[in-house]
Amino acid sequence: MKKCNMPPLTSLYSSPYSAERMGYVHSLESLGTLDGPGLRTVVFLEGCPLKCIFCHNIDCGVQKESHKISVQNLVKKVLRNKPYWDSYEKPYCDKKVCIKGGVTISGGESTFQPLFLRDFLQDLKKSNVHIALDSCLITEKEVLKMIAPFVDLWMVSIKHTDPDQHKFLTGVNNILVHKNLKFLDALLSKNTNNSSRIRIRFLIIPGLTDSEENIKKTGEIAKNLKHLESLELLPYGSHGKYKWEKMFGKYPLDGVPDASPTDIQRASELLKPLEIPILFPLEYHHRPSTM
């Protein structure tokens, strides 16, 4: 049998920039405050390598639910909101920066359409837009290297610290996630002019992710990052249940209670000894999305 020689990854991602490049976008959230610092326009891209049983955007993996759009047209749509970000009166501030707002790319998985993502981010940066990327880091290292120059805040989801539990929740283990997180942290260190930081996002699901051991291990992962911005505790909510029932007839976590403010506070207390910045919103509800 003739051997099939695959091109190296570097050549797969060396395609030149194109404003006409097409991608699939599920929806846009014009003005949100729960997905990154300040006032954000959130772009939900289509496609995801995981099958998270708690996903509230399960419809982002269905292409018929998405819109095909070019890089330049998506940039135009998004930049219509720039006056609102720039004039937002409640900026997010920490010890290093104050951010009024910008664009967050989510999904699905933000890196699932890597070339479209790269060109979109590159165009946004021309308009001096603050960019946050919400990712599970299930992707190639070459993708991370390709988009790193354009990302200001990496919002990395840690689903579970145990490989088997991670596989139960998402369909795959977490080995690549941890490898890529270490790679990303080291990558940011190589560029002394890069002020990008990493926010760890941890979803508290009662009975599934909220054990003392898992909470503390997640905190240790965050603490070991040189470019940590914060550890964000997100309360699980069943607001995506109706999508599962519509698409598949049932919801995998039916009967699992929503996380309460008490659950979030307990996690925060367990993480206190680590002395890392903690974010914990008390509300996390369904937000309508429009394209």
Q: What's the pLDDT score for residue 3?
A: 41
Q: What is the pLDDT of residues 136-179, one digit of tens each?
A: 999 999 999 999 999 999 999 999 999 999 999 999 999 999 99
Q: Which of 20, 38, 40, 36 is nearest to 28 (CA)?
A: 40
Q: What is the DSSP letter of 161?
A: S
pLDDT per position as a tens digit, 223-241: 999 999 999 999 999 888 8
Strand-strand pairing, 197-204 and 228-235: parallel
Q: How far apart are CA 187 and CA 184, in angstroms?
A: 5
Where in the chain are the domains? 17-279
Distance CA 268, CA 262 (A): 10
Question: 229 in helix, strand or coil?
Answer: strand
- Please, is 30 exposed, middle or buried when counting C-beta atoms within 10 Å of its C-beta (0-12, 13-18, 19+)? middle
What average pLDDT does range 130-136 have in this prediction?
97
- The domain 17-279 is classified under which CATH number: 3.30.70.2200, 3.20.20.70, 1.10.510.10, 3.20.20.60? 3.20.20.70
Name 36's Cβ contacts closer than 8 Å, sequence gap at least 6: 42, 102, 104, 132, 134, 153, 155
Please compute the mean of the pLDDT values over residues 123-132 and round it to a whole number. Answer: 96
Under 8 Å between Cβ of 196 and 189: no
- Tell me phi and psi for residue 232, to 5 degrees: -100, 125
Predicted local distance difference test score (pLDDT) of residue 12: 62
